[in-house]
Structure 1
Amino acid sequence: MACRSISSIILVLLLGVICTATVVYGGHQVWWLVGGDNRWSFGVDGWVKDKPIQAGNILVFSYDPEMHDVVEVDEAAYNTCTMPSNGGTRHTSGRDRIEVREGKSFFICSTPGHCTKGMKIAITA
């Protein structure tokens, strides 16, 4: 009889741990390959349309780091395809993973001419 009580207590504790883990880790993180099959490249500026990107999602920028980069910029720099005076936050790995923040985020390639060819995205989460 005592063995069944201990087994029941252990089962309840185990279920409690599982439920707690579900609350802490329950939200699944969505990863987005920016540009889809075309990756981070020219004309990617329309890729984000109709994507349900939310704060906490991960953007994955995949590209040749010898040719491109990803720079987080402000809206003015995004609209004019220029580097902001503070330089923005530059990523150069070729496989950058950036967590989406709440609000607006803007990304461009700083290689001359690339942003004006559509190598930029704007996210609102």
Structure 2
Amino acid sequence: MEQASLAKFRVALLICLVIFSETIDAATYTVGGSDGWTFNMTTWPQGKRFRAGDTLLLKYDPTIHNVVVVNRRGYERCITPVDAKVYKTGKDEVKLRKGLNLFICNVAGHCESGMKIAIEAV
């Protein structure tokens, strides 16, 4: 019986290690570098590789910008879906999910001026 309990403990420990290893490996990226979340963002992030669970730190002036999580249509057409998550603090942390992550600023004219980013997380 003691051996069975030890085996169960090892399995539980292994599961915990797998779950927490994603959190340990997660990185935080400041969007846009020193300029922060601003215009002409479509070339960011050059040379960066993202993983699901990584965090984006979006810094901006909340009196003139915001960050909106959008779908492909919203990204391409610079429109905000009805159920979109809108961040407004000026120092937002957004955890990336696996796949394509799309963000825009929906203040009039900002997305059209390049205030949007597309990030693929593996």
TM-score norm. by structure 2 comes to: 0.79
User: Superposition RMSD on alpha carbons, in Å?
Assistant: 2.0
Corresponding residue for 1:28? Answer: 25
Alignment of 1:66-81 (within 5 A): 66-81=63-78
- 1:120 matched to 2:116? The reply is yes
Partner of 2:56: 59
Cα distance between partner residues in 1 of 2:50 and 2:86: 21
SS in 1 for 2:74: helix
**For structure 1, which runs of at least 5 residues remain unmatched after alignment?**
1-18
Letter matched to residue 110 of structure 2: H
Distance 1:34 1:53 in 2: 12
Partner SS, residue 107 of structure 1: strand
Which runs of 5 or more structure 2 residues have no equivalent in the other structure?
Answer: 1-12
After superposition, what is the alpha-carbon deviation per residue over 1:38-89, rounded to whole angstroms, capped at 9, x for unaligned? 10000111112321111110001000000000000100110011122x2411
1:93 equivalent in alignment to 2:89:
yes
Looking at structure 2, the residues matched to 90 and 76 of structure 1 have their Cα atoms a distance apart, in angstroms, of 16
Checking the alignment, whether the CA contact within 8 Å between 2:26 and 2:51 is kept in structure 1 is no
4+ aligned runs moved over 3 Å, structure 1: 22-26
**Residue 102 (str. 1) matches residue 92 (str. 2):** no
Rg larger in 1 or in 2?
1
Quick check: 64-73 or 48-57, which moved more? 48-57
- Residue identity opposite 2:107 in structure 1: T
Code of the aligned partner of 1:33: T
Give the TM-score, by structure 1 length: 0.77
Amino acid at match of 1:65: P
- Deviations 1:3-22 (Å, cap 9, x if unpaired)? xxxxxxxxxxxxxxxx98x9
